[in-house]
Structure 1
Amino acid sequence: METKIFQPNQIDEAAAAIQAGELVAFPTETVYGLGADATNEAAVKQVYLAKGRPSDNPLIVHVTGEDTVKQYAQPLSAKAEALIKTFWPGPLTLIFELQPGKLSKAVTGGLTTAAFRNPDNQVTLDLIKAAGVPLVGPSANTSGKPSPTLAKHVYHDLNGKIAGILDDGPTKVGVESTVLDMSTEIPTILRPGGVTEEQLEAVIGTVRSNHHKVGKGEIPKAPGMKYKHYAPNAQVTIVDDEADWPAALAWAAQQDGTIGVMALDRTLASEDLPANTEPFSLGADMDSASHLLFAGLRHYDLESPVTGILAQGFAAEGLGAAYMNRLNKSAGQQHFTK
């Protein structure tokens, strides 16, 4: 199969591929998603095959608004309505109990719930409308690898495995959506993301955080809770404290190969980088670091291969919770120690 790059003026062609049961990657404000008709079980199963994704890892259903959700989910609560009004379209995924038989187990991972999101990207919203169906849309990468924030990242992983990629340039947020389980008595964050716990609580009151890694025999209710994620080819090591960078760079200087250094501009400017390091700027602050995290990991896989990566850590607060959730999984919880 030849994977075609669709431009935004070719949405009708991309939508026709979706309607024919084929897979088309699409842009969102977070990362690129791998799209298939959520009502076509055979097409959904092809998503798992293309990604090499475990079949008990549920998929997020992308919609153009609340009306589509109501066709599949049980009646929405007042809290759900308030969240949709406040944060959609945007980087918030909501999990609801389903009406019986409304979506295939291939979408839900065999659960009675499903996750829904209204992405904040007009090209993709136009694609969903043109296709006339909601789209499943896990990140458009090989399972376990860093999520794609550019069309070329998708092409690297999935060329020849999918029909096309709808290219709308770089994504804006850079880390995936917050996943909030609305099927529990107290709404529960299963994956931190672009909408913070504080923002959610400002709208609906108390929420819980439960983004642990589920056990071997459990079925995850949201992506990223069970399996290895976001890992580049080289081992990532997190440098938690800015005061630890001199020691971390001294360690890097002693290594035989090239070591990647992903850090803020002020860190890169203030430290003497060893000759065997390859820097990648995470920008000026936490917001830019979240936006550039996956791009940096992909940079070392695709453009500047290294034997190890040192990455800047942050406090797991606000957007930092999403950043550190992804970075810890990328590093396999490996942190630099003196």
Structure 2
Amino acid sequence: MGRCVFRASGRNVKAKVWRVDPSEPDAKSIEEAASILRKGGVVAFPTETVYGLGAVYHMRDAVIRVFKVKRRPPDNPLILHISSFSQIYTLASEVPEAVHRLAEKFWPGPLTVVLPKTSRVPYEVTGGLEKVAVRMPAHNVALRLIEAVGDPIAAPSANLSGRPSPTTAQHVLADLGDEIDGVLDAGETLYGVESTVIDLTADPPVLLRPGAVPLEEVEKVLGKVCVPAFARGLGEAERALAPGTRYRHYSPRAQLVLVELKDYSDLSKLVDRVKRLVAENAGRGLRVGVLCTDETREHYSGLGAVVLSLGSRRDPFGIARRLYSSFREMDSLGVDVIVAEGVDERGLGLTIMNRMRKASTKRVVV
């Protein structure tokens, strides 16, 4: 892909956009974006999970701007992104052996570890906590940007707080285009959901947020990991211990009604309840959407609802990857209420259900 720099069009967008190849981004675009960051600017960039909104971690004013641009509560910590393992020693005062084992297995990749912070990490980054969240992204654009900056980059997802995380640069521009300095556009992200976050300051380790690395894979390295209710999307942590542990997240503008089964071996019960909810909301004069799976899609034809399939239940990776973009598509279609099917919590299903529960305005358990 050739280098292309332009000013995005749309709602008074001022952000510069660099279109880059995801595998081999051109050095000039990376350096231009890095230069903005080094001067205290904020730039969105792709990772393998979602697009992040970056600032140099030790530049307090830039970090505060990230919070303001996103309308993010100041106690909601940011993840620090590194390009080499040696950078972790600048950020964490203790690096236990478990980090080395996890890094060998998952880095670069969508796993974040929470460790005791050093004095060099500002409290603005950690939401006032004595802990810091760190990961090494598996995306050449992100890695080369961090390398060019010469420092770790603090970055939450590049969307307005509470909205679905962005999986394309277009999503970033729709939410933040008139308030950020630029975005590196490398196309759609791979996983479509955020990283898994593990707190290694606790014994046993605690899952703070399920993500693109299934819990079962982490436990193969660490052994038993504690899973609090908030990590399943059931309630909130008393304090924001990591991104996604407190406050409503990932939500479409439409109301989201999530229908769950205690046992997903019989999907007929799920279909029946979804149909009833569609009829009830349509009867109130609302435009209704259904987020379903390939296994059930045919059952919703003829209801007058907008029907989108997230994919097959046999492919949770695909469902997770399509989730946020499907939320945004429903909004673009003018839907008032989305009735969404739940999935089994095994593997990536835990991540999918965490995101759906966090996004929902109502849960129905059958």
**TM-score bucket of the superposed structures, by smaller chain:** over 0.9
Contiguous gaps of at least 5 residues in structure 2: 1-12, 21-25, 262-266
CA distance in 1, matches of 2:229, 2:92: 23
CA distance in 1, matches of 2:338, 2:277: 12
Q: CA deviation at 1:187?
A: 1.0
1:279 matches 2:307: yes
1:297 matches 2:327: yes
Aligned counterparts, 1:22-41, within 5 A: 22-41=41-60
Report the secondary structure of 2:188's partner residue.
coil
Could you tell me whether the CA contact under 8 Å between 2:311 and 2:318 is conserved in 1? yes
The 1:95–1:211 alpha-carbon spacing in structure 2 relative to 1, beyond 3 Å, is farther
Report the secondary structure of 1:208's partner residue.
coil
Aligned counterparts, 1:323-338, within 5 A: 323-335=352-364
RMSD of equivalent CA atoms = 1.6
TM-score, length-normalised on structure 2?
0.87
Could you tell me whether the CA contact under 8 Å between 2:51 and 2:172 is conserved in 1? yes
Q: CA deviation at 1:114?
A: 0.3
Q: 2:321 corresponds to which letter in structure 1?
A: H
Could you tell me whether the CA contact under 8 Å between 2:288 and 2:337 is conserved in 1? yes
CA distance in 2, matches of 1:286, 1:239: 17
The 1:211–1:51 alpha-carbon spacing in structure 2 relative to 1, beyond 3 Å, is farther
Report the secondary structure of 1:266's partner residue.
coil
Q: CA deviation at 1:61?
A: 0.4
1:56 matches 2:75: yes
1:71 matches 2:101: no
Q: Deviations over 1:279-326 (max 9, x none)?
A: 22212232211111101001122x211011011211112110010000
1:237 matches 2:237: no
> Which residue in 2 is equivalent to 1:3?
15
1:314 matches 2:314: no
> Which residue in 1 is equivalent to 2:194?
176
Number of residue equivalences? 332
The 1:79–1:237 alpha-carbon spacing in structure 2 relative to 1, beyond 3 Å, is same
Aligned counterparts, 1:200-215, within 5 A: 200-210=218-228, 212=230, 213-214=235-236
> Which residue in 2 is equivalent to 1:197?
215
Q: 2:340 corresponds to which letter in structure 1?
A: A
Could you tell me whether the CA contact under 8 Å between 2:258 and 2:360 is conserved in 1? yes
1:222 matches 2:234: no
Could you tell me whether the CA contact under 8 Å between 2:30 and 2:148 is conserved in 1? yes
The 1:314–1:109 alpha-carbon spacing in structure 2 relative to 1, beyond 3 Å, is same
> Which residue in 1 is equivalent to 2:264?
none
Report the secondary structure of 2:295's partner residue.
helix
Q: CA deviation at 1:336?
A: 6.3
The percent of aligned pairs where both chains have the same amino acid is 39
Q: 1:202 corresponds to which letter in structure 2?
A: K
Q: CA deviation at 1:90?
A: 0.8
CA distance in 1, matches of 2:297, 2:236: 36
Report the secondary structure of 1:279's partner residue.
strand
Contiguous gaps of at least 5 residues in structure 1: none
Bigger mean CA offset, 21-30 vs 69-78: 69-78
CA distance in 2, matches of 1:144, 1:38: 23
Q: Of residues 149, 152, 156 in structure 2, which corresponds to 1:131?
A: 149
